[in-house]
Structure formats: C-alpha cells, structure tokens
C-alpha cells in the first residue's frame, strides 16, 4: 500500500477533516460575539413577526372564504386522535374485564413476561459488540 | 531507487484499482440509497404502559430469565426521540440492559400539540415524571426505581430528585447533563437576553418549532452537515458505514418541538439566570436544590462533547448531597457516548457494573 503521505485520497480526506475543524472553530468564534447574537435575533424576530402577521392574515382570508384554517384542521385531527385513544382505552378495559371474567390461569407466555426479580450481579464481563461509530450531533 | 519506484507504482495502481471499484460501487449503492429506506429503529419489543399528550411511557419486554429487583426508568431528553438508545438489534442500549437483566421503562416524548404550548417545567417535573414513577411502581410491584436521564432528561431527573429527596428514586444516572448553563457558550449567546426576546417568540409561535431547535444544534458545528454528506458519498460503497450514517442522521434530524412555556422557563431560569448552578432553581414554587439529592449517583460525561461541554457538566457531582457519587469521563461526543461503537465498549459496561450491585 502507498504511504498515506503520498496517497492523494488519504490527503483529500485529511484536508476535508482539517477544513471541517477549521471552519467550525472559526464559525464558533464568530458566533460567540454579541454582534452575532444581535444580528441573528433581529433577523429571527423579524421572521417570527412576519410569520405571525401572515398567519393572522391567512386566518382572516380563510374565514372570509368560509374554509377551515390549518389550525382548525389540526385541532380536528387531534380530537379524532383523542377519540381513538379513548376507544383504545375502552377496548383494553373490555379485554381486561373479559379476561377477568373468564378467570383463566395466566398463560405461560404472559408469565414469561414477568421474570422473577432475583437477579444478582455476575462477574461476567460484558460482550463487546462490533458496530460502526457515528457522531452526527 | 528503481525498485522503490516500481513498488510505489504497483501500490498506486492498486489504489487506483480500488478507487475505480469503489466508484462503480458508489453508483450502484447510490441508487440503492435513494430507493430504500434506512434500517428500522427502536424495534426492541415494548408495550405502551401509558400515553398522555406529549408523554409516552414504554415498558420493554424482559429478555433475561431473571431481572434485578429495582426497575430502571429512562427519562429521554425533550428535544429528541428515545430510539437513539434503541437503534437496531446488537446496537441497542435498551437491548443491552434487558439482556443484562434489567427491567427497563422509558419516558419518551412525542411532539407537543399546539394546545400543549402551556406545558411548563412544573408539568414535566411535578406531573409527568411522578406519574411515570407511580405507573412503574404499579407495573413492577417495586417501590424503588433507578432513573437514567440523558442530556436534558438528566436535568429533569435532577429537578425531580431534588424536589422529592425521600424517594422513591433509588439510584440516579445522568448522561451528559448540563448544570452551568453559562458554559453552554453558544446557546447562551444565541439566547443573549439583550437581543433574544423569548416572550415575543413564544407568544407568537406557541410551541418552538423543531426546525429552530435543529438549527441551533447544527450551528454548533456548521460545517459538519456538508462534510457529513461528502463523507457519505465517499463511503457509500460501505454498507456498514451507510447503515450507521442513516441511523444517526435520521435521529439527529428527528428533532421535537418544545412546549412554549417550557422553553420560556428553560431560557429564563437556566440560560439567563443559571439557577440550577446557583442553587436558586424552583419548579412550581418548590425549591430544587441539588444538595437535596442523597441517592447514589453516576454522571457520565463525554470528552469531546460539543453540545454539553465538560465545563457545563462538571459541577454536578460536587453539588449533589450524595455520599455515593461518581463521575466518569469517557472518550466520545454527546451522542457517541450513549450510542455507537464507543458506547458498546465504554459506557454500557461501565453503567452495568455500577448499577447492577445497586439494583438488588
């Protein structure tokens, strides 16, 4: 294999890594300044204000057109989800009542879900699984 | 001299051949990449024990023939999904715990709905966590519970533990948990009280959108996303690399919105007034002094954590009132501390050896 100092692909990767590190460091230094915070928050504040005004305007427009707004649609969807949740709760309750009424002995599979709480620490070392690394955040 | 030149020539030829093969593989795998979805994440068998609004409480089905007496409740950070701790079989922290004989529960979050914008810190600390603790007690039949908090889940667990020092929390494990919020320098600067009008933001948008949370995380390393894409293209011939990339990338971009009032409290109490560090924090009018915490505590921090740097996390052990306390610094970053190859070799076995003896 070629020496990595002569390998253009290795050099490219090294350069990429260095560029990333350098740019991140430079940007981080710039972002710690009060000027950056001021500019960022001025821009962000203006965007938020504009978004709110646009939202209000759209709301009035949709009302005039006799159409539901997104918020109303989301609200309806949430109400449906809530009803579904209640139905699931009722279904679970009915299943439990049915199971209790039948007074069946607990099946082995269910019993296996509740193993005894008797575990003691062992001296066995933990296995070292092999897996790729990742650090995105 | 000529022999050396021949050797170099041969190795260069090999290198070019390898690169050509990889280039071909890149084309094939590149098409595959865009035509397939990533691996299924969070697939360890579990039951939803309770679901209410933004809160989901899972119980993972045991995998060992016998389990430790004390169950474990994991409190996930409110900005991200819990499946980072349950990636795929063989690379899942949850699966590791289950196989090591722990009875595992997780308090995970789903996006708060617009009407949940009023959820505040007190809802998380005085309602959601105690509710989950009660349900874990009922389900397991045990009074004692070990709590594991990841990142801001650690902050919530600490607040809970300091307000309820008499139990039932038996052990506390925090992963990369910030205490001195002034040392989260970039976040502090983004939220500089002279320029950041948190009231205007929350009053305007309600819940803080996930894009804003994601942007603030990505701004900590602005070049990394672009470089990550270049590296993905370079390594797209490598199935393991692609699988890993997809898992972590999906999780990192799957950011949750934050409830408006909760975000307001984080900004004012923690980022502006640094109350947790100064010991002046209170939740719902109840003082939350870390010195109240007396249970055994382990704090795992990452050497290269760019989100919660060590300077922000290092005060935890000094501030809690426990006699049995330990800080462990491990190589890795904010995420690779808990998931990935580093975690498998470093954090997971450490946690098991620390917690096992304290779970009987």
Q: Which residue has the higher pLDDT, A134 or B159?
A: B159
Asked if B49 is an interface residue toward chain A (Cβ–Cβ < 8 A), one would say no
Angstrom distance (rounded) from CA B25 to CA A121: 47
Contact B348/A at CB under 8 A? yes
Give residue A25's pLDDT. Answer: 85
Q: Do A115 and B64 touch (CB under 8 A)?
A: yes
B207 Cβ contact list (under 8 Å, min separation 6): B111, B112, B114, B116, B117, B257, B258, B259, B260, B263
Q: How confident is the model at residue A36 (pLDDT cuts 50, 70, 90)?
A: confident
Q: What percent of chain B is modeled with pLDDT above 90?
A: 59
| A73, part of any domain | yes
Mutation for testing the A interface, residue in B10, B62, B67, B223 having most A CBs under 10 Å: B223
User: Does the pLDDT at position B273 exceed 70?
Assistant: yes
Question: What is the pLDDT confidence band of residue A76, given thresholds at 50, 70 and 90?
Answer: confident
Let me know the angle formed at the C-alpha of A63 by A61 and A65, rounded to the nearest 5 degrees.
Answer: 70
**Bridge-based pairing state of the strands B55-60 and B282-283:** unpaired
The arithmetic mean of pLDDT across residues B152-158, rounded, is 96
Residue A1 scores a pLDDT above 50: no
In whole angstroms, what is the distance from residue B321 CA to residue B292 CA? 6
- pLDDT tens digits, B323-346: 999 999 999 899 889 998 889 999
Q: Please tell me if residue B26 touches chain A, with a CB cutoff of 8 Å.
A: no
Helix (H, G, I), strand (E, B) or coil at B108: strand
Inside any domain, residue A56? no
Dihedral (Cα; B227, B229, B230, B236), 10-degree rounding: 140
Range of the domain at A82: 68-101
Chains A and B form CB pairs within 8 A to the count of 179
Which are the contacts of B213, defined by CB distance < 8 A and separation ≥ 6?
Answer: B79, B255, B256, B257, B258
Strands B72-75 and B145-150: parallel
Q: What residues of B are labeled active site? A: 151
Highest mean pLDDT (candidates A13-27, A106-120, B95-109)? B95-109
Confirm whether A74 is domain-assigned: yes
Residue A85 counted as domain residue: yes
- Nearest Cα residue in chain A from B342: A133
- List, in order, residues 6 or more apart from B338 with CB less than 8 Å away: B84, B85, B93, B150, B175, B176, B347
* Interface check B209 vs A, CB under 8 A: no
pTM comes to: 0.80
User: Mean pLDDT over all residues of chain A?
Assistant: 73
The answer to whether position A75 is within a domain reads: yes
Segment B90-110 mean pLDDT = 95
Q: Residues, chain B, total?
A: 360
ipTM of the complex as predicted: 0.71
Name the more confident of B252 and B162: B162
In-domain check, residue A55:
no
User: What pLDDT does A59 receive?
Assistant: 76
Higher pLDDT, B129 or A108: B129
pLDDT digits (tens, 9 = 90+) for B39-72: 778 889 988 899 888 999 999 999 999 999 999 9
Dist. CA B191–CA A31, nearest whole Å: 12
Nearest residue to B84 (alpha-carbon basis) of B73, B74, B72, B98: B74
Which of chain B's residues have a Cβ under 8 Å away from the Cβ of A122? 356
At B156, the pLDDT band (50, 70, 90 cuts) reads very high
User: Which residue ranges form the domains of chain B, and what is each CATH number?
Assistant: 46-356 (3.40.50.1820)
- Higher pLDDT pick, A105 / A24: A24
Using a CB–CB cutoff of 8 Å, tell me whether B341 touches chain A. yes
Higher-pLDDT residue of B146 and B5 is B146
Q: What percent of chain B has pLDDT over 70?
A: 95
Q: Which residues of A touch B96 (CB under 8 A)?
A: 126
Evaluated on CA atoms B167, B171, B175, B180, the torsion sign reads positive
**Nearest residue on chain B to A27, alpha-carbon basis:** B222
| B169 bridge partner residues | B145
Q: Mean pLDDT in chain B?
A: 89
pLDDT digits (tens, 9 = 90+) for A111-126: 556 899 999 988 654 4
Please check whether residue B78 is in contact with residue B150, taking contact to mean a CB–CB distance below 8 angstroms: no
B3 — contact with chain A (CB < 8 Å)?
no
Let me know: does A6 contact B203? Beta carbons within 8 Å: no
Tell me: the pLDDT tens digits for B278-296? 999 999 999 999 999 999 9
Chain A hits for B357, CB-CB cut-off 8 Å, are 121
Judge whether residue A94 has pLDDT over 90. Answer: no
Of B124, B127, B158, the C-alpha closest to B281 is B158
The answer to whether B262 touches B284, Cβ cutoff 8 Å, is no
Given A113, A117, A135, which is nearest B69 (Cβ)? Answer: A117
Total structural domains within chain A: 1
Q: Is residue A125 part of a domain?
A: no
pLDDT digit string, tens, across residues B167-212? 899 999 999 999 999 998 888 888 888 888 899 889 888 899 888 8
**Which has more confidence, B90 or A44?**
B90
Residue B269 has pLDDT above 90, yes or no: yes
Residue B354 confidence class, pLDDT cut points 50, 70, 90: very high
Residue A80 lies in a domain: yes
């Amino acid at each position: 294999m070629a020496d990595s100092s002569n390998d253009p692909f290795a050099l490219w990767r090294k350069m990429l890594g260095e560029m990333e590190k350098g740019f991140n460091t430079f940007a981080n230094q710039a972002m710690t300044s009060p000027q950056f915070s001021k500019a960022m928050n001025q821009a962000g504040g203006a965007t938020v204000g504009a978004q709110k005004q646009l939202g209000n305007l759209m709301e009035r427009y949709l009302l005039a057109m006799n159409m539901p707004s997104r918020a109303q649609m989301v609200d309806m969807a949430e109400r449906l989800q809530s009803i579904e949740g209640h139905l699931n709760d009722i279904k679970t309750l009915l299943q439990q009542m049915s199971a209790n009424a039948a007074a069946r002995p607990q099946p082995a599979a269910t019993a296996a879900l509740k193993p005894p709480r008797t575990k003691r620490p062992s001296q066995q070392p933990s296995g070292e699984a092999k897996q790729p690394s990742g650090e995105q955040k | 001299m000529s022999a050396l030149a021949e050797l170099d020539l041969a190795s260069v030829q090999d290198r070019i051949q390898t690169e050509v093969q990889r280039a071909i593989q890149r084309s094939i795998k590149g098409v595959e990449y865009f035509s397939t979805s990533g691996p299924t994440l969070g697939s360890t068998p579990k039951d939803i024990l309770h679901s209410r609004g933004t809160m989901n409480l899972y119980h993972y089905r045991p995998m060992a023939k016998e389990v430790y007496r004390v169950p474990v409740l994991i409190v996930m950070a409110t900005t991200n999904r819990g499946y980072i701790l349950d990636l795929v079989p063989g690379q899942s922290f949850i699966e590791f715990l289950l196989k090591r004989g722990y009875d595992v529960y997780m308090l995970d979050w789903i996006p708060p709905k617009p009407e949940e914008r009023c959820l505040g810190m007190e809802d998380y600390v005085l309602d959601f966590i105690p509710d989950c603790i009660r349900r874990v007690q009922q389900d397991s039949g045990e009074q004692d519970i070990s709590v594991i908090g990841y990142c801001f889940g650690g902050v919530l667990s600490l607040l809970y533990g300091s307000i309820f020092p008499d139990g039932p929390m038996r052990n506390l494990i925090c992963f990369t948990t910030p205490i001195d919020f002034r040392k989260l320098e970039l976040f502090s600067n983004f939220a500089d009280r002279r320029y950041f009008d948190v009231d205007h933001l929350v009053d305007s948008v309600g819940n803080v959108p996930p894009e804003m949370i994601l942007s603030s995380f990505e701004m900590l390393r602005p070049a990394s996303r672009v470089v990550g894409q270049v590296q993905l293209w370079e390594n797209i011939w490598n199935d393991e690399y692609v699988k890993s990339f997809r898992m972590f990338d999906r999780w990192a971009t799957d950011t949750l919105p934050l409830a408006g009032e909760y975000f307001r409290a984080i900004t004012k109490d923690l980022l502006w007034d640094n109350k947790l560090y100064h010991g002046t924090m209170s939740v719902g009018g109840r003082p939350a002094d870390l010195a109240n915490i007396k249970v055994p505590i382990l704090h795992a921090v990452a050497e290269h954590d760019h989100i919660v740097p060590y300077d922000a996390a290092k005060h935890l052990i000094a501030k809690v009132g426990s006699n049995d306390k330990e800080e462990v610094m491990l190589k890795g970053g904010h995420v690779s501390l808990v998931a990935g190859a580093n975690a498998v070799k470093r954090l997971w076995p450490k946690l098991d050896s620390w917690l096992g003896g304290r779970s009987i």
